[in-house]
Amino acid sequence: MKAVIRNSESAEIGDIPAPPRPPGWVRLRVLMAAICRTDVQAATGLLPLGGRRVLGHEMVGEVVEADSTSSYRHGDRVAVALPLISCGQCKACADGDRCAHRLMLGVDTDGAFAEQVVVPEASLCAVPTDLALTRAACVEPIAAMSAVLNAPIRPDERGLVLGSGRIADLTTRVLRARGFDGVETAPALDSPEGEDLGGRAENGATWESYDFVVEAAGTDRALDLAIRSVRPGGVVVLKSRPAVPIATDVTRAVRNDVTLAAVSYGPLDDAVRLAGELEIDDLLGPVYPLARFGEALALSLDRPLGPKIFLVTE
C-alpha cells in the first residue's frame, strides 16, 4: 500500500506491506486524514521517532476487517478519536487500569497517512455518514480540545485561552459551545514582567486576574504567561503537547497555590456531536491526494497557524 513514511532523513511517499491486524484491533480503509502540528514536527525531524514510521493520527475511515466479537462491521464509518494506545506490558495494563506508558499512533506505532491502518477498537468511535469527511477527520482534535472540560473549571468563571492558531481557536470554540461565555483569548506574547497581555487593559485584564488559563501554545514563555495570568488559587490547564520539554516558573505557581491541570481527551461521543455542531468551516483548509504529501507539508510549514490541511487516498 501507499503510505507517508518518515525515515532517518525525511518523510516521503513509499510502498509498504499492508499492516497485520492483531486481535482486538480493527483494519480501516483511510477515507481522509488531517495534518496536525505533531505530524509536521515528526515529518521535519523535530519530533524524534526512533526509526521508520508511517505518520498521521487524525482520520476518518471505513471498517475493512474486525474481530467477530467487535461492535463494528465491514463498511462502518469511524473516526480515530483516541490515538493513545495501551502498551499491554506495564503493571497498570496487567491490572486492567489506565496504561502508564501509552503509545501514540503515527509516532510510536504506524499511523494513518496510508491507504490502510490498524488501530485498537477502543480508539474508535462511529461517525454518521452525513457528517462531512473534513469534519469527521477532526473528531480527534475536537476530543483533545474538549478535554479542557475535564479540568476543575466552571462556566461562570473568567477564563483565558493563551495561544494562537487552530489549537487555541478550537479550544475557545469548544468552551463557548459548552457555556463558558466569559472566556477570552490572547496570543502568547513576549510581554515583560508586570505588563498586561498585549495591551488588553481595555478588557480589564491584568496579571493574576483570571480564574483559569488554558495554555495552548506549547512554549515555556506561554506557560510562564499562563502562571502569571491566573489569580492566586486559580487553575492553569495544560493542553499543548510540545515536542521538547519546556521550563516553568514553579516558584510562582507554588507561592500562589496555582493548580496545574493536565488533560488529554474528552468523551468521544461528545466530540462527534461537537464535530457536527461547531462553526469550524473557516478552520478547514484544502484537500490533497496522499501522493502530494510533500506539497501539503510545505503549505503546512508556510502557514503553521492557517486552516488545517487534509489528505485523501486516490
* C-alpha cell, 135: 469534519
Bridge partner residues of 28 (DSSP): 63, 117
What per-residue confidence (pLDDT) applies to 201?
37
- CA separation, residue 139 to residues 80, 145, 169, 183, 291 (Å): 8, 10, 15, 22, 24
The pLDDT value recorded for residue 35 is: 95
Give start-end residues of each CATH 3.90.180.10 domain in the chain: 2-143+266-312
CATH of domain 152-262: 3.40.50.720
Over its length of 314 residues, how does the chain's per-residue pLDDT go in tens digits?
Answer: 999 999 877 899 999 999 999 999 999 999 999 999 899 999 998 888 878 999 999 999 999 999 999 999 999 999 998 888 887 778 888 887 888 888 899 999 999 999 999 999 989 999 999 999 999 999 999 999 999 999 999 999 999 999 888 889 999 999 999 999 999 998 875 443 334 454 443 344 455 689 999 998 888 888 988 999 999 999 999 998 877 788 888 898 999 999 999 999 998 889 999 999 999 999 999 999 999 999 999 999 988 778 999 999 87
**What pLDDT, on a 0 to 100 scale, did the predictor assign at position 189?**
57
d(C-alpha 109, C-alpha 103), whole Å? 7
Whole-structure pTM value: 0.87
pLDDT of residue 144: 92
Helical ranges in 45-190 per DSSP H? 91-94, 133-136, 139-145, 166-177
Torsion of CA 61, 63, 64, 67, to 10 degrees: 140
The predicted structure's pLDDT at residue 207: 56
Q: Does domain 2-143+266-312 have CATH number 3.10.20.30?
A: no
User: Which residue has 480515530 as its cell numbers?
Assistant: 80
Helix (H) or strand (E) holding 37: helix 37-43
- Please give the backbone phi and psi of residue 22, each rounded to the nearest 5 degrees, phi first: -70, 160
